[in-house]
């Protein structure tokens, strides 16, 4: 019976380490019009894959994998209890795409064993044309926070979302209808670049995560000081959320344990050291250091661009030598950001101590 199979499936998924599990019937997302308006306003910045054909596929969850009828939606903590740092928590361990896809394949194999037949299924881990948060809300996992993140009642929002699309009859979960943000606006107030102009509206042009990970051009000069000490991604709007302060969970996946590269980057001196290490890396060292890491989403020159901005914000005269070396970098963007950072440090060398705030 669908209800009995669904109950066993949920229990098995929790046993695999997921923090939240639900089932949603596939169909048109309720938030698609909101998504389309966001695209029309151009707030997706340069992420063109979200528009056009990508948007049309997202208009109905039955389109990406024809024949599937239900999605098993899961959430996995990536370590919301880990200390803040210059690299967003989600990217400090192994690549979540690979880790969670493998775990969903385990769930798929278990499901085939339960039904006694082959099951047409496909795992999605931030890799398909889906409105994942809409699907998760329909599967009862949580609600859309004012920071645009999916917040779950018992684990906050430091979570990966993933789904296994199947052609098996399952009992859908009750959608999560409540809005538990109330009158709180801490996430909007805390964003240093103003990337959250209104509740549940993200302007990617100003988002530090977008600027340091997806953006393939120069970081706007007027936003560089606001990037502070953040090298890759940003957790600020999550960190200030009361639901994370109280309910964020450690990860149940060993693969998400932070790599040694980030072990000493918990204070300003450690962040400066990491930034210098990135600037001194060559392609081979980069490939070795970030093998199997989600951080390879950003190319080496992008990380070096980011490192220049960070040193321009929190660096000292001790960092001038490596920044001077970047003035001869093969990438013009890195050269320009290095020149900006040098100018920042030189202009402040004879003044009072720097007052650029740490984001942690």
Bridge partners of residue 123, in order along the sequence: 164
Whether the Cβ atoms of residue 196 and residue 202 lie closer than 8 Å to each other: yes
Tell me the two tokens of residue 189.
């107030």
| Helix orientation angle between 332-348 and 300-314, rounded to the nearest 10 degrees | 10
Q: Report the alpha-carbon distance of residue 166 to residue 68 in Å, rounded.
A: 5
The Cα diameter of the chain in Å comes to 75
- Residue 317: active-site member: no
Q: Report the alpha-carbon distance of residue 128 to residue 351 in Å, rounded.
A: 51
Tell me the two tokens of residue 110.
């278990």
The one catalytic residue among 126, 179, 239, 319: 126
Cβ-based burial of 209 (10 A; exposed 0-12, middle 13-18, buried ≥19): buried
Whether the Cβ atoms of residue 90 and residue 232 lie closer than 8 Å to each other: no
Catalytic residue positions, numbered? 126
């Amino acid at each position: 019976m669908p209800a009995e199979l669904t109950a066993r499936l949920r229990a098995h998924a929790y046993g695999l380490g997921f923090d939240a599990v639900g089932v949603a019937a596939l169909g048109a997302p309720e938030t698609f019009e909101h998504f389309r308006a966001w695209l029309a306003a151009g707030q997706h910045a340069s992420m063109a894959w979200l528009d056009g054909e990508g948007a049309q596929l997202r208009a109905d969850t039955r389109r990406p994998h024809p024949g599937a009828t239900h999605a098993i939606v899961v959430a996995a903590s990536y370590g919301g209890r880990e200390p803040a740092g210059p690299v967003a928590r989600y990217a400090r361990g192994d690549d979540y795409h690979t880790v969670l896809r493998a775990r969903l394949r385990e769930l798929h194999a278990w499901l085939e064993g339960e039904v006694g037949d082959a099951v047409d299924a496909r795992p999605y881990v931030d890799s398909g044309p889906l409105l994942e948060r809409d699907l998760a809300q329909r599967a009862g996992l949580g609600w859309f926070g004012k920071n645009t993140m999916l917040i779950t009642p018992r684990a906050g929002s430091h979570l990966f979302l993933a789904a296994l699309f199947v052609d098996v009859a399952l009992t859908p979960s009750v959608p999560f209808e409540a809005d538990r943000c109330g009158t709180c606006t801490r996430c909007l107030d805390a964003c240093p670049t103003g990337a959250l102009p209104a509740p549940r509206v993200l302007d990617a042009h100003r988002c530090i995560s977008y600027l340091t990970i997806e953006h393939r051009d120069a970081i706007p000069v007027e936003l560089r000081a606001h990037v502070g000490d953040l090298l890759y991604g940003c957790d600020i709007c999550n960190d200030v959320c009361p639901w994370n302060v109280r309910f964020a969970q450690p990860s149940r996946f060993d693969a998400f344990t932070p790599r040694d590269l980030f072990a000493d980057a918990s204070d300003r001196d450690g962040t400066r050291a990491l930034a210098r290490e990135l600037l001194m890396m060559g392609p081979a060292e980069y490939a070795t250091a970030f093998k199997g890491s989600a951080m390879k989403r950003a190319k080496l020159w992008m990380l070096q661009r980011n490192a220049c901005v960070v040193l321009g914000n929190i660096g000292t005269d001790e960092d001038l030598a490596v920044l001077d070396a970047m003035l001869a970098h093969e990438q013009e963007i890195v050269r320009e950001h290095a020149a900006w950072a040098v100018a920042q440090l030189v202009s402040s060398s004879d003044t009072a101590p720097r007052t650029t705030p740490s984001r942690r």
